[in-house]
Amino acid sequence: MTIPDMRQPAALLAHMRHTLAFYAPRVKDPNGGCFQFFKDDGTIYDRRTRHLVSSTRFVFNHALAWRWFGGSADDVAHALRFVNEAHAQPQGGYAWVLDWNDGQARVTDGTNHCYGLAFVLLANSHAAEAGVPGAREGIAAAFELMEHRFWEPTHGLYADEATADWQVGSYRGQNANMHACEAMLAAHAATGDARYLDRALTLATSIAQRQAALADGLVWEHYRSDWTPDWDYNRDDKTNIFRPWGFQTGHLTEWAKLLLMLERRLGASAPDWLVHTARHFFDTAMRHGWDATHGGLVYGFAPSDSWSPPSASTQSSPRGGHVGLGSGPAPDMEVCDADKYFWVQAESLAAAAWLAVRTGDDVYWQW
């Protein structure tokens, strides 16, 4: 089999067209939104379940297709309409999971997740760039909802989840904040409003600097309500799809990509730590997450039992300076989840390309 050269734009565009060719004839539900569950032969095996993350990501995907290949933005508008009319709830949130049948939505999980709201913001941002009516207003509305319900100014981060009637839980996580940072960058690209770029920098600083200082310079996933690390959360559920235990290979490389995107958008005002931390996250993920036998990146790795977490006294302010990458010897790491996920490989491919362009170091092109 000939492996395409993914450094060539033609190869990337061909791969995008190949992916679109699978979904385009069958993804659109004429009753609303997009089907989300397909077998390899294209058969839809669940026509009714609609997850907020997938519903919003179809907006993003259709917007990218419009951007690269032109044509009508009707599919973008169709997907966004479903988010706004089916997932949106009277109390101001967005249902996490729906049972969609004959044009009627029944909420099967009404939990409000900041992770989900970040994707609502991302969807509106890309839809706005495609010229979808109402999307620009949707950006502001999603941001204000996140601000009102989840923002914790003392910590410079968002809380994670709330019940359908907005009772915020005690769990705190980096994942929602990482995707919020991604969404803020997209919102700034769509609107030019500086508050979104400022919020992206605050989130990046809080997670990639202050919180990372509590985990030897890496990104731990789980925290208590005071944002101290919870080292044991889901320790016995390492394959949890949204809240896995351990350091997540793909999240480290995804943060590397986001830090470089943030640096480019900030321009001359970008702090020096962004590129240094991006390299550190990526290089560490490759060192501990690469499967030298079979290739590809594993899902997660974790310190050996002999590791002692750094003291919480290393915390700094949300907008503080560079905090360093650990004060002692790096801990020994062990793979805690050897499974391979497509998104981990995809995020890492993108991060490698960003690093190669930014640093001029050919080693990243080799990755």
pLDDT digits (tens, 9 = 90+) for 153-184: 999 999 999 999 999 999 999 999 999 999 99
Residue 96 contacts residue 113 (beta carbons within 8 Å) = yes
Phi/psi of residue 97, each to 5°? -140, 140
- 137, with CB counted inside 10 A (0-12, 13-18, 19+), is exposed
At 243, is the secondary structure helix, strand, or coil?
coil
Give whole-number Cα distances, 170 to 197, 318, 356, in Å. 27, 20, 40
Could you give the CA distance from residue 181 to residue 53 in angstroms, rounded to a whole number? 16
State both tokens at 26.
Answer: 């069958």
- Reported as a pLDDT band with limits 50, 70 and 90, residue 239 is confident
Task: Provide DSSP, 195-225.
Answer: HHHHHHHHHHHIIIIIIGGGGTTS---EE-T
Flag the least confident range among 108-117, 180-189, 229-238.
229-238
- Reported as a pLDDT band with limits 50, 70 and 90, residue 310 is low
Residue 234 contacts residue 240 (beta carbons within 8 Å) = yes
Tell me how far apart the terminal alpha carbons of the chain are, to the nearest angstrom.
19
Q: What is the pLDDT of residue 308?
A: 60
Could you report the per-residue pLDDT of 13-37, keeping only the tens digit for each? 999 999 999 999 999 999 999 999 9
- Reported as a pLDDT band with limits 50, 70 and 90, residue 65 is very high
Q: What is the pLDDT of residue 281?
A: 99
H helical segments located in 24-92 = 52-69, 74-82
Could you give the CA distance from residue 123 to residue 179 in angstroms, rounded to a whole number? 12
Q: What is the pLDDT of residue 316?
A: 41
- Beta-strand pair 97-101/49-51: antiparallel
Give which of 114, 10, 146, 125 is closest to 57, Cα–Cα.
125
- Reported as a pLDDT band with limits 50, 70 and 90, residue 71 is confident
Q: What is the pLDDT of residue 322?
A: 38
**Quick check: 256 pLDDT over 60?**
yes
| Domain residue spans of the chain | 27-366
Q: What is the pLDDT of residue 330?
A: 56
272-279 own/partner pairs: CB under 8 Å, 24+ apart: 272/322, 273/209, 273/321, 273/322, 274/204, 275/358, 275/359, 276/322, 277/208, 277/209, 277/212, 277/325, 278/351, 278/354, 278/355, 278/358, 279/355, 279/359
Q: What is the pLDDT of residue 337?
A: 92
Could you report the per-residue pLDDT of 311-361, keeping only the tens digit for each? 544 444 334 443 333 444 456 899 999 999 999 999 999 999 999 999 999
The amino acid sitting at 339 is D
Q: What is the pLDDT of residue 275?
A: 99
Q: What is the phi-psi region of residue 42: left when phi exceeds 0, alpha when psi lies from -120 to 50, beta otherwise?
A: left
Q: What is the pLDDT of residue 323?
A: 36
Q: At what angle do helices 174-191 and 249-266 cross, to 10 degrees?
A: 30
Q: What is the pLDDT of residue 4?
A: 87
**Quick check: 5 pLDDT over 60?**
yes
Q: What is the average per-residue pLDDT within 220-236?
A: 96
- Reported as a pLDDT band with limits 50, 70 and 90, residue 237 is confident
**Quick check: 149 pLDDT over 80?**
yes
Percent of all residues in the chain with a pLDDT value above 70, rounded to a whole number? 93
Class of domain 27-366: mainly alpha
Q: What is the pLDDT of residue 242?
A: 80
